Structure 1
Amino acid sequence: MTTSATFKSLLPWCAAVVSGVLMFLGYAGFDHFYLEWFFLVPLLWALRDQRPARAFWLGWLAGIVGHGGGFYWIIQMFQQFAGAPWIAGVFGLILLAAANGMVLALWALGTRLLTRERQWYVLWAAPVLWTAIEKLWPEVFPNYIGASQYRISHLTQIADFAGILGVSFLVVYINATLYWVTLRWREQRVVPWRAVAALTVTLVLVAGYGELRLRAVDRKLAKAQTLTVGLVQTNRGAADNHLAVDLMQQEHREMSQQLVATHKPDLVVWPEGVLSVALDSRTGSLPSWALGDLRTPLLFGTCLQIREEGETRFCNSALLADPSGRIMGSYDKTVLVPFGEYIPFGDIFPQLYTWSPYSAKFFSGRSVEPLKLGDHLLSVSICYEDIFPTHIRKLMRDGRTGRRPEVMVNITNDSWYGKSVEPMEHLALASFRSIENRRALVRGTNTGISAFVDPAGRIVSRTGIWTREVLVGRVPLWEGGTVYGAAGDWIGWLCAAISVCGFAAVTLSKKART
C-alpha cells in the first residue's frame, strides 16, 4: 500500500477523533457551545461509503474520545469515592467512555444503514436516531448533548414540552443540515435551499417560542410570591466527613448563624451528608444546638441510620427540621451511585464489599413525596438525581396533598471530582429540570457550585468552585404544570418508533430488490 493510500485510509479515523474532541470541548464545563452545532460533521463525512460494521467502529471511536475527554474527572472520583488506586480510575474511565460511547456507535451504524440509498435521508435520520438512542441507551451518568446549550435560553425553552431530548434533537438536526449543505456544495456546487430554509424556519420558530416563554416567565416572576433561602458552602470536601467531622459541623453552624442574623431567611440549606443521625422514627427531634440554634427551618443532608421494617437501614437522606429541631419531613436518595453508595450485585455476592471497603451500602429510598415547609411544598433530590429527568418528573407529580411542589431543592457533594469541569456539567444538566417542570431550583453543595436557577433554566446566582461562601436568594414559588410534566419523554419514544419504521422500510426495500 502506498503512503498516499495509507493516509487516505486513516482519514476517516482521524475525522472520528476530531468529532470526539469537538464533542467534549463544546459541552458544558468547557462551554464552547457553538462547537456542538457541527461536531458530527467530520464523523458524517467519515461514514460515507463505509460498510455498516466500519461505521459502528468509527462512531464508537468518536464516542470514546468524546466521553473520555469530557469525563476525565472519573479518575479522581474512583480514587475519592471508592478508594481505588489511580490505575483503577483510568480503567474505570475507559469503561465508562466505552459504555457511553455506544450512543455514537449505534447512531453511526443506524445512520449509515438508513442513508445508504438516499444520502439526503441524513436530514431526518440523524436527529431521530440520536434522540431515540439518548432516550433508550442506559447510562450511569446521562449527558444529553442538548445540555451544551444551557446558556442559550432562547433555544432551550422547548424543554418545557419536549424535555432536554428536544434540545438534543435540535442540535443534531443543525449538524445534519450543515453536513448536507457542505456535501452538496463540495460535490455539485449546489446549495440545497430547501434544507437551508427548513432549518432556518425551525430555528426561527424555536427562538420565537423561547422569546414568548421567557417573557411569560418574567411576567410571572414579577408577581410571584417568594421564599428567601440561604445556602451554606463551607468548602469542606468529602474527606472532612471522616477527618474533621466536628470542625465541619461547627463551621456550618457558625456560617448559618451569621447568615440568619444578616439576611433572616425563611429556610437555610446545608449540603449532602453534613451530619450523621440515628433515629428510632422519622417523627423525632434533634437537639437545636446541633443545628446551630438558628430559630429558622433547616434542610440538611445526613447519613441516616434508622430502624424500619425489622431491620437497621442506612440511607443517604435529607431532613427538614423546624426551628426547635423537630423533624418535619425526610427524603431518602433513590438513585444511588454504583460502587460509591452500593456495589452492583452486592446483595447477591456480599464478598464484593470486602474488596471495596470505601463503598457504602445505602438503602434506596421509596418515597417521592415532597417535604412541607409551612404551606409550601419542596421537591427534594440528592446528589446526581437531578440529572435524571424521569426521576425528577416523578418527584414533581401531585403527592398525597393533591398539589405539585412549588420549588425544587437539590443537595449534593461534588468534591469527589476535584477542581474539574464536573460541577459545571452537573449544574448545566440540572438547570434543564427547571425548564421541564417550570420551577425554580435551589442547589446547595459543600465545595461548589451552589446556585439558584429560575423557572426558565437561567442561573440567577452561583458560588465558585472550592470556595467558602454563603449565597442568599429570593426563590419564586410556582404553580401549574407543563406538557413535559404530563407527557414525559414523548419525543424519545416517537423517535424510537420512527427509527423502527425506518429500519423496517429499508429491510423491505432490500428484500424487494433481491
Structure 2
Amino acid sequence: METQTHDWHRSPAIGYLIALLAGGLTTLATAPFSLWWLSPVAIGLLYVGIHALTPVQAAIKGWLYGIGLFGSGASWVYVSIHDYGYTGVPLALFLTVLFVMSIALFFAVTFWLYRWLTGPRWAALSFAGAWVLGEVLRTYLFTGFPWLLAGTPQIDSPLAPWAPVGGVYLLSLITALTGTLGVELLHRRWLAALPLAALWLIPMGLPAQWTTASETPTRVSLLQGNLPQLMKWTEEGQQDAITTYTNLTRQQSDDIDLVVWPETALPMLEADARPILERVEDNLPPQAALLTGILQRNSEGRFFNGIVGVGNTEGEYRKEHLVPFGEYLPLESVLRGAVAFFDLPTSFTTAGAPNQPPIKAAGLDIGSAICYEIVYADLVAKRARHTDILLTVSNDTWFGASIGPLQHLQMARLRALENGRYVIRATSNGVTAIANPQGRITARAPQFKMASLTDDIHAMEGYTPFTRTGSWPSWVLATVLVLPGLKRIRSQG
C-alpha cells in the first residue's frame, strides 16, 4: 500500500490529470455552485507530490491546473467575443482557448519558481505562501486578472470573519494552508493539527461587525432595464433606453433618496444625455439624487467611462482601471480593424485619474467602482477609506446567461465584508443586488428581467483593519512563509 502511494506521488501523468481536475473543483467552489470547501481540497491535490517533480514538470502541472480552472470558470469570455463581439464561432473559440491558455501561464510560472527555489522542508508553509504571491502577480501584471482567487469562495465559509482583517489574500493564504496542512495530517504529521485548528477557530472570536451604522436609513432604488446589448447603440436602442429608464424612475415613490442607473444606461455621450437627465431631475423628490453610468468625452476629445448625477448630488467619477480589449486596445496600431471584436464601441476609453474625490449624493459620500473595478480589493479599500457606502455599476449583459455575473456578484459581496460597508450594485440585466456590511445579500433583482430594486441602507462609520492597511500585511505574511523553504537559506543553516 505504501509503495502504491509512493508511486502515485511520483507519476507526472497522473499528477497532470489531477491538476486539470483540481481546476474544475476550484470553479465548483465559487458562485453559483458555492462548494467553498473544494477550494482547499484542490490546493491539497496540487500540493501532493509537488517535490517529486522537476521545475519544468511542476510548471506543466500548474499550467494544466490553470487551464482546468479558467477553462471551466472563465470561459464565459466566449459569450463576449462571439455573441456580442461580432466574431464567428471558429475565431471566437480560438480566442477563448488562447485566453485560457495564456492566463493559465501565471500558475505555470508560480509552480516553476516554487519548485526551483524551494525544497520539501517547511513545504506546507512555503507552498501556501507561494500560492498567494502567485495570485498577487496575476492581480497586477499586464493590468491583472484577479478572477477566481482561492479566497473568494470563503465568504460563505466559517473563514469569512478573516476578510475584514486581511482581505481576500489572507483568505487565500488560509485556504492554501488548509489544503497543505490537511495533506500533512493525512500523512500522520499530527503537529499540523495545531495551526490548522487555530486558523479555523480564531474567526469564532473575531468581531462580527467592525463598523457602525448610522441611525438614519437611506432609501435606494437600483434600476435594471434588461435591454438587448446588440441593439443598445442603435438609434432604436437609444430610444428604448431613454423610455425604459425615465419610466422606471418616474414610478419611484416619494420617499426615495437615491436612484441608480447601471453602467452606460443611456448609450450615448453625456453631452447628449444631459437634457434627458435634466428632465428626469424635474420629477425627482426634492431630497433625491440620481446617479448613472455614462460615456463621457472631454474638451480634448478623450472618452471616459464615468458616473454622473443630477438632483441632490455633487461630483462625478471616471473609471480608473480599464478592461483590456473591452475599454482600450493594447497594441492598437496592430489590432485595430483586424477582428470585429477589437472594434467594440467602448474600446477607445481613457483611464480616469487616481485619487478622485468621492461622489456626494443624497447626503452620502460614495465610493465608486465601475464593473471590473470591483474585483480589485485594494482599489475598493482605497475608496472605502473616505466614503460611507460603496457603489458599483456594471453591464454584465456581456456575460450572457453564463456563470460570470454570479461570480462577479460574489466578489462584490466580498468587498462589502472586507470594508464593513454596504455595496449597492446596479446592472443592466443582473445581478442587481444590495450586500450588507457582512457581505450578505439583503435585496436582489431577478436576472434577465426589467426590475426596480428598492431597499434601505445605512451609512457606515469606522474602518475594518483591511480598509486601513489594504493587502500588504497579507503579502508580507505570504513572503515570510516562503522564506524557510528557500533552498539557499536552508543550505546556509
Instruction: Supply the distance in 1 between the matched residues of 2:476 and 2:272 (Cα, whole angstroms).
Output: 45
CA shift for structure 1 position 480: 1.6
Which amino acid is the alignment partner of residue 487 of structure 1? T
**Contact 2:277-2:310 within 8 A present in 1 as well:** no
Which amino acid is the alignment partner of residue 426 of structure 1? H
Which amino acid is the alignment partner of residue 162 of structure 2? I
Instruction: Decide whether aligned partners of structure 1 residues 237 and 168 sit closer, same or farther in structure 2, where only a CA change above 3 A counts.
Output: farther
CA shift for structure 1 position 334: 1.4
Instruction: Decide whether aligned partners of structure 1 residues 332 and 474 sit closer, same or farther in structure 2, where only a CA change above 3 A counts.
Output: same
Within 5 A, what are the aligned runs for 1:355-366? 355=339, 356-359=342-345, 360-366=347-353
Question: Match of 1:338?
Answer: 324
CA shift for structure 1 position 114: 6.1
Question: Match of 2:195?
Answer: 198
User: Which segment drifts farther, 313-322 or 414-423?
Assistant: 313-322
CA shift for structure 1 position 202: 1.9
Which amino acid is the alignment partner of residue 25 of structure 1? L
Question: Match of 2:266?
Answer: 275
Within 5 A, what are the aligned runs for 1:279-358? 288-289=278-279, 293-295=283-285, 296-307=288-299, 311-322=300-311, 328-346=314-332, 349=333, 352=336, 355=339, 356-358=342-344
Instruction: Report Cα offsets for 1:411-437 as digits up to 9, x if no partner.
Output: 100000110111110011122221222
Which amino acid is the alignment partner of residue 76 of structure 2? W
CA shift for structure 1 position 272: 0.6
Question: Match of 1:237?
Answer: 228
Question: Match of 1:410?
Answer: 392
**Contact 2:413-2:440 within 8 A present in 1 as well:** yes
Asked whether 1:250 is paired with 2:226, we answer: no
CA shift for structure 1 position 250: 0.7
Instruction: Supply the distance in 2 between the matched residues of 1:482 and 1:228 (Cα, whole angstroms).
Output: 24
Instruction: Supply the distance in 2 between the matched residues of 1:484 and 1:420 (Cα, whole angstroms).
Output: 31
Question: Match of 1:75?
Answer: 78
CA shift for structure 1 position 21: 1.7
Asked whether 1:178 is paired with 2:214, we answer: no
Instruction: Supply the distance in 1 between the matched residues of 2:77 and 2:452 (Cα, whole angstroms).
Output: 28
CA shift for structure 1 position 389: 1.4
Instruction: Decide whether aligned partners of structure 1 residues 354 and 317 sit closer, same or farther in structure 2, where only a CA change above 3 A counts.
Output: farther
Instruction: Decide whether aligned partners of structure 1 residues 8 and 236 sit closer, same or farther in structure 2, where only a CA change above 3 A counts.
Output: same
Instruction: Supply the distance in 2 between the matched residues of 1:498 and 1:9 (Cα, whole angstroms).
Output: 29
Within 5 A, what are the aligned runs for 1:380-459? 380-397=368-385, 404-459=386-441
Within 5 A, what are the aligned runs for 1:43-82? 43-82=46-85
Which amino acid is the alignment partner of residue 144 of structure 1? L
Asked whether 1:506 is paired with 2:493, we answer: no
CA shift for structure 1 position 227: 0.8
CA shift for structure 1 position 286: 5.7
Instruction: Decide whether aligned partners of structure 1 residues 352 and 58 sit closer, same or farther in structure 2, where only a CA change above 3 A counts.
Output: same
Question: Match of 1:378?
Answer: 366
Instruction: Decide whether aligned partners of structure 1 residues 381 and 92 sit closer, same or farther in structure 2, where only a CA change above 3 A counts.
Output: same
Question: Match of 1:400?
Answer: none
Instruction: Decide whether aligned partners of structure 1 residues 224 and 81 sit closer, same or farther in structure 2, where only a CA change above 3 A counts.
Output: farther
Instruction: Supply the distance in 1 between the matched residues of 2:468 and 2:272 (Cα, whole angstroms).
Output: 34
Instruction: Supply the distance in 1 between the matched residues of 2:267 and 2:283 (Cα, whole angstroms).
Output: 18
| Structure 2: tracts of 5 or more residues without a match | 1-6
**Contact 2:320-2:351 within 8 A present in 1 as well:** yes
Instruction: Supply the distance in 2 between the matched residues of 1:277 and 1:10 (Cα, whole angstroms).
Output: 54
Instruction: Decide whether aligned partners of structure 1 residues 318 and 199 sit closer, same or farther in structure 2, where only a CA change above 3 A counts.
Output: same
Which amino acid is the alignment partner of residue 200 of structure 2? L
Instruction: Decide whether aligned partners of structure 1 residues 15 and 278 sit closer, same or farther in structure 2, where only a CA change above 3 A counts.
Output: closer
**Contact 1:230-1:470 within 8 A present in 2 as well:** yes
User: Which segment drifts farther, 172-181 or 25-34?
Assistant: 25-34
Which amino acid is the alignment partner of residue 435 of structure 2? V
**Contact 1:151-1:458 within 8 A present in 2 as well:** no
Instruction: Decide whether aligned partners of structure 1 residues 486 and 362 sit closer, same or farther in structure 2, where only a CA change above 3 A counts.
Output: same
Instruction: Supply the distance in 2 between the matched residues of 1:162 and 1:277 (Cα, whole angstroms).
Output: 40
1:142 aligned residue (115, 140, 147): 147
Give the TM-score normalised by the residue count of structure 1: 0.84
1:463 aligned residue (435, 438, 445): 445
SS of aligned partner of 1:30: coil
Instruction: Decide whether aligned partners of structure 1 residues 446 and 113 sit closer, same or farther in structure 2, where only a CA change above 3 A counts.
Output: same
Which amino acid is the alignment partner of residue 421 of structure 1? I
Instruction: Supply the distance in 2 between the matched residues of 1:483 and 1:281 (Cα, whole angstroms).
Output: 43
| Structure 1: tracts of 5 or more residues without a match | 185-190, 398-403
User: Which segment drifts farther, 140-149 or 415-424?
Assistant: 140-149
Instruction: Supply the distance in 1 between the matched residues of 2:488 and 2:80 (Cα, whole angstroms).
Output: 44
Question: Match of 1:476?
Answer: 458
Instruction: Supply the distance in 2 between the matched residues of 1:203 and 1:62 (Cα, whole angstroms).
Output: 26
Instruction: Decide whether aligned partners of structure 1 residues 279 and 259 sit closer, same or farther in structure 2, where only a CA change above 3 A counts.
Output: closer
Instruction: Supply the distance in 2 between the matched residues of 1:351 and 1:198 (Cα, whole angstroms).
Output: 51
Instruction: Report Cα offsets for 1:294-334 as digits up to 9, x if no partner.
Output: 33321111122332xxx1222211111107xxx73211111
SS of aligned partner of 1:239: helix
Within 5 A, what are the aligned runs for 1:208-247? 208-209=205-206, 212-214=207-209, 220-221=212-213, 224-243=215-234, 244-247=237-240
**Contact 1:253-1:291 within 8 A present in 2 as well:** no
CA shift for structure 1 position 450: 0.7
Count of aligned positions: 474
Instruction: Decide whether aligned partners of structure 1 residues 127 and 466 sit closer, same or farther in structure 2, where only a CA change above 3 A counts.
Output: same
Instruction: Supply the distance in 2 between the matched residues of 1:279 and 1:171 (Cα, whole angstroms).
Output: 45
Instruction: Supply the distance in 1 between the matched residues of 2:225 and 2:271 (Cα, whole angstroms).
Output: 30
**Contact 2:281-2:311 within 8 A present in 1 as well:** no
Instruction: Report Cα offsets for 1:6-60 as digits up to 9, x if no partner.
Output: 9966322221122112111222223222211311232222424111211111111
Instruction: Supply the distance in 1 between the matched residues of 2:69 and 2:87 (Cα, whole angstroms).
Output: 24
CA shift for structure 1 position 127: 1.6
Instruction: Supply the distance in 2 between the matched residues of 1:66 and 1:158 (Cα, whole angstroms).
Output: 24
Instruction: Supply the distance in 2 between the matched residues of 1:36 and 1:350 (Cα, whole angstroms).
Output: 40
Instruction: Supply the distance in 2 between the matched residues of 1:77 and 1:318 (Cα, whole angstroms).
Output: 23
Instruction: Supply the distance in 2 between the matched residues of 1:159 and 1:8 (Cα, whole angstroms).
Output: 37
**Contact 2:241-2:266 within 8 A present in 1 as well:** no
Which amino acid is the alignment partner of residue 146 of structure 1? G
Matched residues, percent identical? 23
